Amino acid sequence: MEILHKSNIFIHVTAGTFALILAIIAIISNKRIIFHKKVGKVFLAVLSIVILTALFGVFIFGRNNFLLVITVLSGYVGFSGYRIIKAKSNEPKMLDIIVAILSVSTVFYFLYYFKTIGMIWNPVVIYSTVGGLLIIILYDFLRYFIPKTKYQRLWFYEHIYKMIGAFSGLLSAFSGSVLYMYKPYSQILPAVFCTILQIGFIIYYYRKFSKQV
């Protein structure tokens, strides 16, 4: 089991590092649509490996359960960000609803055992991560009630927010693990940086689309 555990960690770290590189390439190449899409698909595939190895770490090798929430956050927003760019609408899809419910259930599982997991991560990081995931899932349910005439390009802004959000989760986990001596700043600052990226890209494209009207 020790060999398997170390192998799982190696694959997880390697895939996570590769996913971060792919995410940066995708962000930089956002205007090269075809290339951006191809990199994005590879990013999601590698992110799946990160998620799978993290789940192995939690449920098979008994690692800290907060990794489960980080995994669910990055995995869910990455999945939802991909789904919304495919659908380009807020029409309810059974697969999206099922994944959202499973994600919420996972978070409540984490909260239920909150007192027994050990506060390895800073409470500010824990509460902000859990709260951020719940807010995103709540929005994903509420968006089904937005009239299609008003929804319009919201799907595009959702894609931006969620894909950068997936990158943010990976970056915070990576930075927090490597620069653990600087916690909680090594976990919080990457999230702040990615939030600025989200806002910047959304404002840029909102102004761009407004000029085209």
Task: Give residue-wise pLDDT tens across range 1-41.
Answer: 778 888 888 998 899 899 999 999 999 988 788 899 999 99
Furthest-apart CA atoms within the chain: distance in Å: 60
Predicted confidence band at 118 (pLDDT cuts at 50, 70, 90)? Answer: low
Predicted confidence band at 150 (pLDDT cuts at 50, 70, 90)? Answer: confident
CB 129 within 8 A of CB 73: yes
Q: What is the pLDDT of residue 57?
A: 79
Domains: count for the chain: 1
Residues 6+ apart with CB under 8 A from 148: 89, 90
CB 85 within 8 A of CB 41: no
Query: What pTM, to 2 d.p., does this model score?
Result: 0.86
d(C-alpha 36, C-alpha 167), whole Å: 15
Whole-number mean pLDDT of the chain?
84
d(C-alpha 49, C-alpha 141), whole Å: 27
> pLDDT exceeding 70 applies to what percent of the chain?
88
Burial 92-114 (b: 16+ CB within 10 A, else e): eeeebeebbeebbebbeebeeee
Amino acid at 101: I
Per the model's pLDDT, the better-predicted residue between 49 and 174 turns out to be 49
Q: What is the pLDDT of residue 122?
A: 62
CB 85 within 8 A of CB 69: no
Helices (H), 88-184: 94-112, 123-142, 148-151, 154-178
User: Looking at residues 58-87, what average pLDDT do you find?
Assistant: 79
**Residue 151: C-alpha distances to residues 142, 155, 199, 208 (Å):** 12, 8, 19, 18
DSSP helix/strand/coil, 30: coil
For the chain, the residue count is 213
d(C-alpha 51, C-alpha 75), whole Å: 7
* pLDDT above 70 (res 120): no
Q: Other C-beta atoms within 10 Å of 161: how many?
A: 23
CB 181 within 8 A of CB 133: no
- 36-70 confidence digits (pLDDT tens): 999 999 999 999 998 888 888 777 776 665 666 77
Q: Which domain covers residue 43, as residue numbers?
A: 2-212
* pLDDT above 70 (res 119): no
| Alpha-carbon radius of gyration of the chain | 17
